[in-house]
Amino acid sequence: MKELLILVSVLFLIGCGGGGGSTSIVKDPLPTGTEEMVAGQTYQVSPGDQVVKTFEDAQVRVVHVDGEINSTIELVEGEANIVRSQ
């Protein structure tokens, strides 16, 4: 009887202990003044703001109109962040 109880306990622990193959990735929080860009979304940037690629092949579209201070940027593909000037 004791062996049966141990066997059932071991089987229960093995059955419940499997991770199911899913992995959870936790990103570090971005520093203050940094904004993660989303592909296809446009952003207003001001002089002094910086775009930092976090993926080597990231592509960003910049639209600047002469005579205006701010520009509009869009992440086309990849990953990038905007570091806002303080």
The domain in which residue 50 lies consists of 2-83
Determine the Cα–Cα distance for residues 84 and 52; give it in Å rounded to an integer.
11
Nearest alpha carbon to residue 73 among 3, 84, 21, 28: 84
How do residues 33-82 score in pLDDT, each as one tens digit? 899 999 999 999 999 999 999 988 999 999 999 999 999 999 999 999 99
Q: How many domains does the chain have?
A: 1
Confidence (pTM)? 0.64
What pLDDT is recorded for position 30? 80
What pLDDT is recorded for position 28? 74
Determine the Cα–Cα distance for residues 61 and 37; give it in Å rounded to an integer.
12
Determine the Cα–Cα distance for residues 40 and 17; give it in Å rounded to an integer.
41
Name the band, by pLDDT with cuts 50, 70 and 90, for residue 31.
confident
What pLDDT is recorded for position 29? 82
